[in-house]
Amino acid sequence: MALRGFGPLGIVSILAILATNLVVAPLGIILVLLWAEHSRTPWPEIGYARPVRWVRGLAIGIPFGIAFKLLMKTIVMPLLGAPSANRAYHYLVGNRAALPATLFTMIVIAGFGEETFYRGYLFERLGKLFGSGKSARVSIVLITAGLFALVHFPNQGLAGAQQAAITGLVFGTIFAISGEIWTLMVAHAAFDLLAVAIIYWDLETRVAHLVFT
């Protein structure tokens, strides 16, 4: 299929999806799904394999996402010298009016969208270029984590990019091993929703100093 290859049409589709995802993320995700449909790419190749148990994905993804966020906030980011508060989202403190749009962003655009793009789509495209060997998969995890970090830098600065890089490495490694994206979507959403809750209730500094005072 031309769309799945790296001829003129395939390259144009890749550039279009990349550019659209950077400018209007929801539309970029729609383009990924349309590309998969029209290129006849099997859904499991972008991680859309039917889970054996949907409840199992929730039971694993939610606690993992929460635990991972707490680990990052209380130990990893303080060790990296990150500020205790994320100034990019400080406007959310007590801001009930901003919650609906924020929750939509965290669940749909971040949880569903970013996993579809950075893990599902990019892993499939880079896998076609690099192959499926161990070194290829390591390279793909590193590249996608790097891209994930870069897109977070303009809005969240160095600390946001560092957190995104680590998150990308962890989620990318899990996806490279499992090839299944549902649990990662749940974990990603839980990670971000806990972050929003901590900010909304103005607990960032307190949580960040739980281990290192």
State pLDDT tens for residues 44-80.
999 998 877 788 889 999 999 999 999 999 999 999 9
Measure the CA–CA gap between 62 and 185, rounded to whole angstroms: 10
Sign (positive/negative) of CA torsion 173, 176, 177, 182? positive
Tokens coding 128? 């076609």
Q: What is the pLDDT of residue 39?
A: 92
Does the pLDDT at position 42 exceed 70?
yes
Q: What is the mean pLDDT of residues 16-27?
A: 87
State pLDDT tens for residues 124-137.
999 999 998 999 99
The pLDDT mean for the chain works out to 93
Domain boundaries, the chain: 1-41, 44-208
Measure the CA–CA gap between 187 and 196, rounded to whole angstroms: 14
Q: What is the pLDDT of residue 1?
A: 65
% of residues, the chain, pLDDT over 90: 80
State pLDDT tens for residues 132-172.
899 999 999 999 999 999 999 999 999 999 999 999 999 99
pTM over 0.85: yes
Contacts 24+ apart (CB under 8 A), 144-152: 144/118, 144/119, 144/168, 144/172, 145/169, 145/172, 147/118, 147/122, 148/114, 148/118, 151/22
Measure the CA–CA gap between 121 and 143, rounded to whole angstroms: 13
